[in-house]
Copies of this chain bind each other. A is one copy, B any other.
Amino acid sequence: MQSISDDYLTGFVEGEGCFYVGFSKRKDLPLRWQIITEFHLSQNPGGKKVLETFIKRLGCGYIKLNHPGSKRDKTFVLIIKNRKDLSQKLIPFFEKNHLQTSKFEDYLIFKKTLELIERKEHLTKDGFRKIVNLVFSSKRITHKKYSKEQILCSSETICKSRLR
């Protein structure tokens, strides 16, 4: 059996990977929203070996059942949540190994969001708005729990300005 190369892993991520940026309501935070950044890579049990190889290659991430309660869905998911791991391990991997489909757009939004967070810009209204606009600029968005308007308006005491 051949070893699993970086190129193989990149092709694998095209189909099964997800660069997720989401927004979660958090009343205790000044802007009322938490920004979630996560990388997911799903696979059925027969492909768990690939997830394990990716974790070893990156030096971060963990594997869990995608739907622990389900009797039917036995898929696994590799998760990376730690922002340092995302910035210092995941991003450099994809800077070296280029995604070739429109998943590359998701990756760029993900990367830019991490950069803004790293510079703590997400803690300011302008920086937060920049991230929301970035995420909703994707042509690939099909469904989000909250609309851009819901997020931006409730992050300011009074929603004054018209959204871009």
Contacts and interface: CB of A to CB of B under 8 A. Distances in A.
A interface secondary structure, majority: helix
Contact of A46 (B6, B12, B98, B103): B103
Contacts of A1: 98, 100
B2 A98 contact: yes
A7 interface: yes
Most chain B CB inside 10 Å of its own CB: which residue of A43, A47, A50, A100: A100
A105 interface: yes
A97 B11 CA distance: 13
Contact of A100 (B14, B49, B101): B49
Nearest to A46: B102
Nearest to A6: B7
Interface in A1-28: 1-2, 4-16
Interface of A: 1-2, 4-16, 43-47, 49-50, 97-98, 100-103, 105, 140
Rank and list the top 5 A-B pairs by shortest CB-CB distance, nearest first. Answer: A15-B15, A46-B102, A11-B11, A47-B101, A11-B12
